[in-house]
Structure 1
Amino acid sequence: MFLLYKVHIINLYVGVYEAILSACFRSVVECQTVTVAADLLNISQPVVSRLLSSLKEQLKFKLFIRQRSRLILSDESQAFYLEVAKVFDAVNRLDSAVEAIRTHL
């Protein structure tokens, strides 16, 4: 029983970490700079950079192409961003649905 509990906690942690990585990536894409995304997320710029590096290792493809002071999405990360955006949109719809259910009860 305890082992099953530990496995569940580990799976939960991994899921939370992946959500953090995705949120960080999404913020950088939408803010167009790591510094602005870090401010929005209320974390330091080096932490955002490390999270992006971790995501890049996990995905096994390049996230951004640097052109002067701009970050350009790679083809792979553009496709990944579209999927991440769908997930966050679904979570927002779920939040709205929960609020609607609460107000009707």
Structure 2
Amino acid sequence: MIGDWVNLRSSKGEQIHGYVEKMTGDHTVVQLRVVSSENQILVGQSIQVQVNKLTKEDETEQYSAGELKQLIDLALLTNDKAWFDSLMTKYQKLKIKQNN
């Protein structure tokens, strides 16, 4: 589940989008890095969320090369090597697909 992209609604009904950074030992709570939110104060922050509140994004979601570049920059800024490696693989596959 670490690295998964998820969505949720806050207790105030605000949409939150981010990825899982860490999980607790009993897997009931995760640490979520907020990438976008209707509450701008949360963007860039790590928050703790109950797993049952999360909705996992579809992994087949397609990103453009430009979007992947922005996500790669974000992975570099957050020093998230696993996410960076995953994004680079997707970026390279997309570039190969575009060249065929």
Length-normalised TM-score, structure 1: 0.31
Structure number with greater Rg is 1
Task: Specify which structure has the higher proportion of helix.
Answer: 1
Task: Specify which structure has the higher proportion of strand.
Answer: 2
Length-normalised TM-score, structure 2: 0.32
